[in-house]
Amino acid sequence: MALTRELDRKDSPVTRWFNQWLANTKPVSEEWSARVRSAPTHRPDSDKRIPGTVGTAFDYRLRFSLAALPLERTVAATGMRLLDTTRSQTRNSGRSTDEFLVTYGLPPGEAAPVARLLSEFQEALATTLLRFDPVGRALRGSEEELLCRYCYVLALFEELYRAGLAIKSPLFTLASGATLDRLLALPPQIWVDDLCKLSHLARPHLADLGHEPLHLNPTFAGSSEIGGADADLIAGGCLLDIKTTVDPKFSRTRLLYQLLGYVLLDYPDAYAITCVGIYLSRQSLVVRWPLQELLSTLLAERKATLPELRMSFRAAIHQR
């Protein structure tokens, strides 16, 4: 998303704004280290590098545990539409599948049209969610594994939206005539098992993470002004980001400033956010900060109200 891209650039007006206004991060970093240092970390018994797809897949798995989530409201659905639209444009232009693949840097002949599976996938997922009813309850082993497979595939579709069709997605390895079963077989078993474990670790936190009013994958009034910004969830006025990492080090940009960026983009205070926090899924730990106390710490000797900070932040965005 564009917010994180801006924060990754040291010369961005957005980054400069945070470094000017909310620079006193040392007390927050020390508090983070004290709370997180002793937390045990779950990871598979393997030296394999954990793909980012797993973190995105867990985001979906957690949301399905918190509330009924219409597929059409997810980023994955946007990725599906992007793929479907691009395929349709390719067919209508008379270009061959091989030409389509070469355009996106893929070897000719390795992928078949995925679009025809989308409707079947969506219907099967809707049926599965209705049958399993995962909100607030533990699933049986086979049910959990199947739902985690769906979540991994949703993550693959989301990656198409966020990273573009040029990525080497496993979706492009589907052979001609691939079935829904073949699509659901794309997730490697090691990461399906990993997701099942993360789902188990999250159960004690479901009531807290699902506190009403609950907003899943919220966007903000200023999201379009920065090119896109969507958070993970807001529960009972607390904006929470989900981190699935084996090394939960403090990051002022990709942890603290990302959270506060969402708050600042809520120009009209539509969500009435009163605290921010992180759920560390591999440590089964929630870390929260009351918003006003956090801002006072970061401002140090400076004085500014939240509306004033939002107005100033918006001006920095318009400098991009």
Residue 261 shares a structural domain with residue 151: no
- Say which DSSP state 267 is in: T
Residues 102 and 79 in one domain: yes
Domain final residue, candidates 169, 203, 237 = 203
Residues 198 and 219 in one domain: no
Q: Would 19 be classed as within a structural domain? A: yes
Whether 183 is in a domain gets the answer yes
Mean pLDDT by 10 residues, the chain (320 residues): 89 96 97 95 87 97 96 90 62 44 45 67 96 96 98 96 85 83 96 98 96 96 95 97 95 95 98 98 98 97 96 93
State which amino acid sits at residue 133.
Answer: D
Give the residue among 39, 11, 67, 35 at the shortest CA–CA distance from 281. 39
**Cα gap 281→194, rounded to integer Å:** 11
* Distance between first and last Cα of the chain: 15
Asked if residue 47 belongs to a domain, the reply is no
Phi and psi angles of residue 241, each rounded to the nearest 5 degrees, phi first:
-110, 145
Q: What is the pLDDT of residue 168?
A: 86
Residue 46 lies in a domain: no
Q: Is residue 66 located within the same domain as residue 193?
A: yes
Same domain (yes/no): 87, 144: yes
Q: Is residue 193 part of a domain?
A: yes
Q: Domain end: 141, 172, 203, which one?
A: 203
* Domain shared by 58 and 178, yes or no: yes
- The DSSP secondary-structure symbol of 320 reads -
Residues 307, 257: one domain? Answer: yes
| Same domain assignment for residues 139 and 273 | no
Asked whether residue 44 is domain-assigned, the answer is no
Q: What pLDDT, on a 0 to 100 scale, did the predictor assign at position 64?
A: 98
Same domain, 77 and 186: yes
Q: Are residues 313 and 291 in the same domain?
A: yes
What's the rounded Cα separation, in Å, for the pair 267 and 159?
Answer: 28
Q: Give the other-Cβ count within 10 Å of 189's Cβ.
A: 10
Q: Collapse the DSSP code of 161 into the 3-class scheme (helix H, G, I; strand E, B; otherwise coil) and give the result.
A: helix
Domains in the chain: how many in total? 2
User: Are 86 and 134 in the same domain?
Assistant: yes
Measured distance CA(205)–CA(210) in Å, rounded: 8
Domain containing 7 equals 2-39+211-317
Of 203, 223, 257, the last residue of a domain is: 203
Write down the pTM of the prediction: 0.89
Nearest alpha carbon to residue 159 among 283, 59, 241, 62: 59
Check whether residue 86 and residue 136 sit in a common domain: yes
